[in-house]
Amino acid sequence: MSISHTGAGHEGKPVPSVTFRIRKDNDWASITTEQIFKGRTVVVFSLPGAFTPTCSSTHLPRYNELADTFFANGVDEIVCVSVNDPFVMAEWGAEQEADKVTLIPDGNGTFTEGMGLLVDKSDLGFGKRSWRYSMLVKDGVVVKQFIEPDKAGDPFEVSDADTMLDFINPRAKKPDQVAILTRVGCPYCAKAKALLTELGIRYNEIPLGHTKRSQVVRAITGEGTVPQVFINGERIGGWDALEAWAGRSKKAA
């Protein structure tokens, strides 16, 4: 497999002038690079292929997760480019629920080749695909690029959403990572969710059935009751602990 590319020197240069063929409302449509980039600040990340492991588990989801923070820091749009056909990109976007990222199919690899980042992955049966990278584009000119190092395989070290956001604003406030274990009919679970909502904290709820709830909760927390709240990797605990945490947070603010 050839992993050499020539894209490292594109900072300060305009993006290639390309017309992309896309699917819109179940029909064919076109969108140009001028429409995407002219007079706008756009974050672009490109990856080897839709539905591939790193792209689906980390690369696209994290950009979608941080999208509102990017927008609050001057970014007009986040664009994901891949050398895939429009049907595949549309289905991948729907499967990933990536509603805050615009998925652009570079079906013929024209844009990627113009960026100097088209590589040969024929040994994997992929043919020509994009090398993984991200870039910040202002008014059609590349301001900053993060290109993955030339290594065998599929390195994912610098083109991630957090690296790009840190470049744009190192002090940007990222959304809290919140999960809550619950069960149906639990009044304290309802109170915990209401409190999180009142605090403006978005959370991921993990509802547990009655049969295995106690086993699952004990395995994770050492306790047998719900709710159990986790914030940014820290276990807060049940309703009383969450209420106390919220009180401390309000005082600190």
What's the pLDDT tens digit per position in 176-193?
999 999 998 999 999 999
The pLDDT, as a whole number, for residue 238 is 96
Rounded-to-integer distance, Cα 241 and Cα 192, Å: 10
Instruction: Tell me: cis bond preceding 170? Omega within 30 of 0 counts.
Output: no
- Residues with catalytic function: 55
Please provide residue 105's backbone torsions phi and psi, each rounded to the nearest 5 degrees.
-85, 120
| CATH superfamily of domain region 7-168 | Glutaredoxin (3.40.30.10)
CA 66/CA 165 separation, integer angstroms: 8
DSSP helix/strand/coil, 219: helix
Amino acid identity, residue 217?
A: V
Tens digit of pLDDT for each residue in 198-238? 999 999 999 998 777 788 899 999 988 999 999 999 999 99
Q: Which residues contact 107 (CB under 8 A, 6 or more apart)?
A: 20, 21, 83, 84, 85, 86
φ, ψ for residue 21 (rounded to 5)?
A: -95, 125
* Angle in degrees, CA 42, 137, 41, rounded to 5: 40
pLDDT in tens, 38-87: 999 999 999 999 999 988 989 999 999 999 999 999 999 999 999 999 99
Output the CA torsion sign for 23, 24, 29, 32: negative
- Shared fold status for 7-168 and 178-247: yes
Question: 97: which DSSP letter?
Answer: T
- Domain locations in the chain? 7-168, 178-247
* pLDDT for 1: 40
- pLDDT given for residue 3 in this prediction: 47
Strand pairing class (77-82; 102-105): parallel
Q: Report the DSSP pairing between strands 228-231 and 234-237.
A: antiparallel
**Domain 178-247's class?**
alpha beta
Using DSSP, how many helices (H) and how many strands (E) does the chain show?
10, 13
Beta bridge partners of 133: 46, 147
Evaluate if pTM is beyond 0.85. Answer: no
The answer to whether the beta carbons of residues 53 and 35 sit under 8 Å apart is no
